Amino acid sequence: MKKWLFAAGLGIAMAASASVQAAESIAVVNMGNLFQQVAQNTGVSKTLENEFKGRASELQGMENDLQAKMQRLQRDGSTMKASDRSKLEKDVMASRQTFSTKAQAFEQDRQRRSGEERGKLVTRIQSAVKKVADDKGYDVVLDTNTVAYAGSSVKDITADVLKQVK
């Protein structure tokens, strides 16, 4: 009986020791915070804004022109000759179609480029997480947003990863 109790006690001690060792090899990192800070530091949003500034200005001009034509049609349409009104209506429809097509292409291009830049940032962050985890001996690194609870023995390496990315 004593041997059995001793074996059970030893098993419990080993299990507790294993769980402490497992917790020591796990770290967490706040990926959302890292992504936001790295994007801010690298100026990705400014780069994209400058890249699309010309097309955005062109679209704004087209929109203003279209609104002016529509206001003119509303304001003067009832007093215009039928041929002039018809011509202006066709012009408004053509301008609206052109604007819509260009705006849709602009949005698609902007989203594509934004995705490319986001992918580059994620790759840089993931490389930094891997390097910090390897250097500090962590076997598992989890995103803090996916963890329901992390005890005090689980290390947050967000600051270390941010230093590594810079």
| Structure confidence by residue, pLDDT tens digits, 12-71 | 444 444 444 445 689 999 999 898 888 888 888 888 989 999 999 999 999 999 999 999
What is the rounded distance in angstroms from the CA atom of residue 136 to the CA atom of residue 89?
69
| Structure confidence by residue, pLDDT tens digits, 68-116 | 999 998 998 888 898 988 999 999 999 999 999 999 999 999 999 999 9
Q: What is the CATH number of the domain that holds 117?
A: 3.30.910.20
- What does residue 79 show for φ and ψ, rounded to 5 degrees? -100, -5
Provide the domain count of the chain. 1
Domain that includes residue 68, residue range: 2-165
Angle at 31 between CA 138 and CA 133, to 5 degrees: 15
pLDDT at 24: 66
Count how many residues are written for the chain: 166
